Structure 1
């Protein structure tokens, strides 16, 4: 299969931009809610303002993560693929039941999914057990990892 990594990279960047826009709005709404006079409780049992401030903080943390991911992906240059898996490799991985999955190995945005040519591509970071296990492997290699106490076996079908 022909994989145009530059098109996939653009899909990832566009998805991150869309996520960033939604998160910016969510942070603004949560901040406004947390500071609105109607949310400031008159007793210690009225905690809507406090809960909204926690939400605003969480949304703000997520916003920073998406901004960091966007910067990382925008800095990538699509180079010729190598046979060894490294950051920004696109990997076709097949599990022991024959199910295939496409993964983009990245430093940021783990779990993000984009659709390309009728398939779903999932971003996996090197902070995950699967991402760590992929580094340095090549097409045809097998790998076995433990995820949440379950042993998983994979074969690397292709590297782009």
Structure 2
């Protein structure tokens, strides 16, 4: 796996989230100021609801900008020898199944697929991220997943 490909794919995924958030915010703003949203009675709350929705969508845009800026700093991380933000980590379990994680500053749970390989963004604040934090190549980690112990082996850190 080439880290530069993962970084570019994540960059595109984050930009897509920003674009979708901006489109939703624009649509919500237009709905909030549309003449059909004007209250016809004292109990008509469509314009108020539309305003709240527009505000929420604007917050999503701000969060997307924040995520893009946060990732830009970790995308530049070089020469990684342990699990830190910016690391691309390959784990294997006892059955030989492989898992790829990009350790990011935010957006935990974001998934991208490259050549039929799924890469999941993991933050160091997540339960698995806390277990992996600072670990090095060839370390074995134990993780309690839904009450059962799982063991992972760190195969690669890029």
User: Structure 1 pair 10/53, CA: closer, same or farther in 2 (3 Å)?
Assistant: same
Pairing 1:70-89 to 2, within 5 Å after superposition = 70-75=68-73, 76-82=75-81, 84-89=82-87
How many residues matched?
156
Question: What is the alpha-carbon root mean square deviation over aligned residues?
Answer: 2.2
Deviations 1:43-81 (A, max 9, x none): 354332232223222222221111111112223315233
Q: Which residue of 1 aligns with 2:134?
A: 136
Q: Which residue of 2 aligns with 1:60?
A: 58
Deviation at 1:36, TM superposition (A): 1.9
TM-score when normalising by structure 2? 0.83
Query: Any idea what SS the aligned residue of 1:105 has?
Result: strand
Q: Which residue of 1 aligns with 2:125?
A: 127
Deviation at 1:153, TM superposition (A): 1.7
Q: 5+ unaligned residues in a row in structure 2: which ranges?
A: none
Query: Any idea what SS the aligned residue of 1:42 has?
Result: coil
